[in-house]
Amino acid sequence: MKEWNLTGIDAYDRPLFVNHQYKKMTRAGIAYILKKYTDSARKYSTTIPDKVTPHIFRHSKAMHMLQAGVSIINIQDILGHSDIITTQRYAHADMNMKRKA
């Protein structure tokens, strides 16, 4: 962040991660990068799923935060969900995992 001058108040609106044109990365750009590197990694490991998407990372992070005791309201804010019902799906999934265990 220091190298790209992103530590000051004036940088709060600038993207942390940029594409080759120094613009905000798009969902498609992130999906492209994930596909590129998961395809490459599959040559070395058979445990990598066939389809890895940005949503898998969002879901995993939400589940880890929930399991660590972060409130569902805070998770909603972090994920940017406008409706708490969307975020509560993670809590429901966590309860199912606990029942199975």
pLDDT in tens, the chain (101 residues): 888 788 888 888 888 888 889 889 998 999 999 999 999 999 999 899 888 888 888 888 888 888 888 888 998 998 888 888 888 877 777 676 777 76
CB 72 within 8 A of CB 63: no
Give the chain's largest Cα–Cα span: 49
> Cα angle vertex 93, ends 66, 27, to 5°?
75
Q: What is the pLDDT of residues 61-82, one digit of tens each?
A: 888 888 888 888 998 998 888 8
Handedness of CA 65, 90, 78, 70 (dihedral sign): negative
Q: Which of 58, 82, 78 is nearest to 70 (CA)?
A: 78
pTM: 0.62
pLDDT at 41: 94
- Extract the tokens encoding 16: 């942390």
User: In this structure, which amino acid lies at residue 12?
Assistant: Y
State the Cα–Cα distance between residues 17 and 32, nearest whole angstrom. Answer: 14
pLDDT at 68: 87
pLDDT at 56: 85
pLDDT at 57: 85
pLDDT at 47: 92
Q: Which of 57, 54, 56, 63 is nearest to 90 (CA)?
A: 63
